Structure 1
């Protein structure tokens, strides 16, 4: 990467992006890597830009890669007075694209990051050259049964002893991948949600998972006129692979591919394969639909 910055890439280190931007009153952690056509990576939940750490170096060989933590996730703060929700994330993404001076970037989103990417383009009007959607939380029902239960019983989870809550989150994270995460990697994912403040932070995120944020996005899927790559973990236990085919059928010209032996966090199970598929897609000269 010719524009190397100081984000840590070791599982045992505390992952942190180097830049701090003020967007909509929130402090957004961000980083820029490499040189070439611009691509913005958008993580989902419950994660942060750490999800992309093994993909960034590969993509940065041929692209300028913009990475950030969603408001209320990772090292980013929430937008004052706004829920930690997809519609907020999409507005912040639109502001970031403007801040970075990107005219027509590629957007890559995972989980609710995929919904954020689509909403930024279809609702907020961000012009893009192509879109990649990974294990996308877009088509209903995308709120998982675990999250639905938490939403119905928020008071119980907010007052639950912290050590019990921590075990629940650990068990949930264990189903995010097909293979077991190394302990240091799991600890990095869990670290933002430890202790009483971490417990409240996790529940603040879950509280605002709202499928109404994707209803108008789904209505507009047929208007997408740029190349779209859908990539899915073949063994995703959170969002079944059937969502991938359904999503592809609603977007003109979109194609779906599956990563064997990968779960919902497919960048953990198969980072090299994911990076290669994305790099190939971003390098294509395939015309818009």
Structure 2
């Protein structure tokens, strides 16, 4: 792999949100073969090839080194990798696809509210029924690790192939470990989350594979992508203040602004109104507050951090 290979979710809200995220940074997704195609390109990043896959396929591919970067859920990365710090590195949390991986039990289990209660209930269940209670989940590794950390051993894992939340009502399992965003589906199925039953808080993340074959060309394309992403982030957090007259150095220094020219400065967006007022009151007004689309810096911190992580596992 000499060219940068990017994997993006092939459908649903994850795809829509990922597409919007890349577009905001100046890269437009064009899908080959229409809506049913599984390859694409990013306009503005001709150095990259794009694959459209399921979120689970993306997570597994990143862990295996099948492609360089991808957008997938942190829940899948943590569940599929036995050694995530050596397999993949989260470059950017994306702020969408948020959900929790949780332990849920029937709401009718009034005396089971914690993982400790669950262990006690499991012991009673085994004594009464002659078998361990079943826990249905798609998150096998996360479940095993969390239950072990909470000293829960009275259970047997059942891999869920369909709607996990329906397992207790259908008799397939007594307990589930599943992902939830609002809790509405769990409630609709008469389930409750244990008080200490949040295993992982997850969201979509742009993640880099530490197992992939990284060429200088691929690294260069990644830096180009991330520099634009961080330029957008800087612009979102910054406002340009333009005055009619030169702004005094004392005002700029006192208010923590960054000079651009004699009559313009950059200000944190949260302080833009206060700083504009201070400039106007100093006699340099009137002052206009402007939004910017991109603010490029000399360095790209997220790229430098990823390269450091890449070297650490070489």
TM, length-normalised to structure 2: 0.25
**Relative contact order higher in (CA < 8 Å, ≥ 6 apart):** 2
Which structure carries more strand by proportion? Answer: 2
Larger radius of gyration: 2
